[in-house]
A and B are shown apart, each in its own frame.
Chain A
Amino acid sequence: MDSQTRLDVIGGLLAITLGGILQTVLIPRYVDEDLDLRLPVSAMPSLVSLLLIFFGSLMIVSGLVKLRQPSAKRKFAFDGDVGMSMVVFAILACGVAALHVLPYLVVTPIMVLALGCLFGRLSFYRVLLIGAGAPVTLYFLAWFGLERVLP
């Protein structure tokens, strides 16, 4: 099975799984009822989940049909370093988590400096610019411009 077919089958299976979870768990548990309405509140989510199952199945079938045809090796449309991208997301997530307990002006300089360090060594000027200049500017812009105090 080439990578294109495998991705179509995996995508189809994910869509069917999401549709199935919606039908069996999410819609019965997390959708309120409103008896005044002609159509139930769950009508639209149910329709979407059924369509997800239908088009997911269609994608698996079309992937398997492609299997019988010669195809070129798939090239990702959004090619990038997967591991490093996850590190960037992790740095952002740690920064946001830290904002729950620590002030903005403490967390954000560390967060942006960590992101900057992924490019290589930071010069003193750049540490000053992105570690202090950017967070402080945004903090005061929010304070004076929007009259909102960041945490």
Chain B
Amino acid sequence: MDVMLAGLLDALSLATLFWVALGVTIGIVIGAIPGLNSAMAIAIAVPMTFALSPLSAIGMLVGVMKGGGFGGAISATLLNTPGEPSAAATALDAFPLASQQGKPRKALKMALFSSATGDLMSDIMLILCAAPLAMIASQMGRVEQTVIILLAFTTVAGLAGNSMIRGILATLFGVLCAQVGQMEGSLAERFTFGINGLENGLPIASVAIGVLALPEIVKQIAAGRRTGTVQATIKETGEPAEQGLSFAEWWGCRWSILRGGIIGTGIGALPGIGSSVAAFISYSAAKKASKRPEEFGKGSLEGIAAAESANSSVNGANLIPLLTLGIPGNVSAALLVGAFIIHGIDPGPSVFRNDAQLIYGLFACMLMANLMLVVIGQAGLRIFSSMMRAPAQVLFPIVALICVTGVFLSSGAGLLGVWIMLIFGIIGWLMRRYDYSIVSFVIGFVLGGTLESSLRGAVTILYRDPFGKLPDHKFAIALVVLMLCFAVVRAVLVSRRRKRKETASS
């Protein structure tokens, strides 16, 4: 209890609250820029957190994650250009409400309140589940840990892209990149090629900004001459009183929000599925359950509420596997793992034993971030919406400059870090162009080191008599069976889907 209170007090300090609020603001601003999403916002914000205390740093990144989720809804509502795929479900109703009915403020407010409510639901679930699950997880040994990481790799590779083999190759490339530098627990170096600065491995900020943010920035700049500047032309029409969102309207959508929160939390707790799936499942579930399904797609508040609450609740739930097993469920969570490691914290079940105060502080920061999202989102709605009017000619070169400067300052490798960012920018651009999952790559890169140390530990345990000792690890055997079942079921489903497409086309 003392640890909980100490964590809460840490989170409520003015400095921590300031960084969380700044994170929420940065998240909304970057998320509102068409083409950029919350994962990219976290990647860009990581360098800013190096000089902060662990709680302020991770609290700020959590703020960016939550702000970025709502930021994506702004461009979806005003431009019909979702910042991330999950906001596409929001755009289905938010854009018609804003453009056809002339109520952009109502659409944005519904997105904001649903997003904050969904986030809050998943945070409460995380707070209730994480510690007991971590206690169970901490009983697991190296063999089980190895199998769990492999299961996470298989699930993410299978679900995050269109091809499982390409996903596995991307994961393997990520694991290979994690091998660069000095090996953990030894002075032996790997693939440093005699370059000073590589002995500590590839800097996570350089790799993350390189594969996540740079390809999108380059794409936007490259397309600049063709597309010009996209500007919101939506204007408010009708009575000013109808522009706001009344409590009755929000309350009328309570079941959609609740359902979305539950769907998002359930899906978010599983690695690799992502918020887009949650948003669309929640949207179609809300449409089926609605008394006015004919309004969906034409500016239904229920539609906005269902999509936003589901895609936002994925964020908090994604931290459940992160804090209980040390396995990130998506790119944002993978970047948080990087932030944990940078600040000397080992994410996973042991975090509740070794850094309990920090974790309870983080829980408090998450709850505060939801409140700040509502306050900052409400107060700055007009300013954030005006981000749409910022010309891409100004915006993207400045974002590129921020990436270069941020990596230079944070990576500890100086200009080498910037070169690494550029190289991974090209790799990320090629991977995205040829449909190799970036999520799989990032998770492979972040978990590569942990996988190696677990594997080494498992080999030590099973050395000499593997078949004699394996029966002691029934949980690991069950997970291997589950992994094989998942691969087989996915292969069968893909083959069926292909056959159905062929039948339909012929």
Supposing A58-B165, A62-B165, A115-B221 touch, asked if A93 and B183 sit within 8 A by C-beta, the answer is no
Tell me, yes or no, whether A73 is within 8 Å of chain B by CB. Answer: no
Separation of A104 and B429 alpha carbons in the complex (Å): 26
Best-surrounded residue of A69, A81, A126 (most CB of chain B within 10 A): A81
- Does A122 interact with chain B (Cβ within 8 Å)? yes
Q: B interface vs A, CB < 8 Å?
A: 51, 162, 165-166, 168-169, 172-173, 175-176, 179, 183, 186-193, 215, 218-219, 221-226, 228-229, 391-394, 396-398, 400-402, 404-405, 408-409, 415, 418-419, 422, 425-426, 429, 432-436, 451-452, 455-456, 459-460, 463, 498, 502, 505-506
Contact of A31 with B190 in the complex, beta carbons under 8 Å: yes
Quick check: A146 and B222 within 8 Å, CB to CB?
Answer: no
- CA–CA, A62 and B228, complex, Å: 41
CB-CB under 8 A from A87, the residues of chain B are 222
Q: CB distance B405 to A92 under 8 Å? A: no
Does any Cβ of B come within 8 Å of A64's Cβ? no
Say yes or no for A30: interface residue by CB 8 A criterion.
yes
Task: Contact check, B222 vs A85: say whether CB atoms are below 8 A apart.
Answer: yes
Contact across chains for B398 and A134 when beta carbons are under 8 A apart = yes
CB pair A150 B405 closer than 8 Å = yes
Is A9 among interface residues, defined by CB-CB distance under 8 A? no
Shortest distance from the beta carbon of B88 to any chain A beta carbon, whole Å: 15
Q: Please indicate the chain B residues that have their CB under 8 angstroms from the CB of A34 in the complex.
A: 183, 186-188
**Cβ of B398 and Cβ of A70 under 8 Å apart?**
no
Complex CA–CA separation, A7 to B226 (angstroms): 27
Considering the chains assembled together, what is the distance between the CA atoms of A146 and B412 in angstroms? Answer: 13
**Residue in B169, B176, B506 whose CB lies within 8 Å of A45:** B176
- Complex: how many Å from CA A84 to CA B261? 42
Contact B422 A126 (CB under 8 A): no
Chain A 97-122: CB-based contact to B (< 8 A → 1; otherwise 0) = 00110001000100111011011101
Closest Cβ–Cβ distance, residue B181 to chain A (whole Å): 11
Give chain B residues whose Cβ lies under 8 Å from the Cβ of A33: 188
Is the pair A37, B186 in contact by a Cβ cutoff of 8 Å?
yes
| Listed A/B pairs (30) with beta-carbon separation below 8 Å | A15-B169, A22-B176, A31-B188, A31-B191, A34-B188, A39-B459, A41-B190, A44-B175, A44-B455, A52-B173, A69-B502, A78-B215, A78-B435, A80-B218, A84-B222, A84-B223, A87-B222, A88-B222, A89-B218, A92-B425, A96-B415, A96-B419, A96-B422, A99-B418, A108-B401, A108-B404, A119-B229, A122-B393, A134-B401, A150-B408
Rounded to whole angstroms, the CA-CA distance of A104 and B225 in the bound complex is: 27
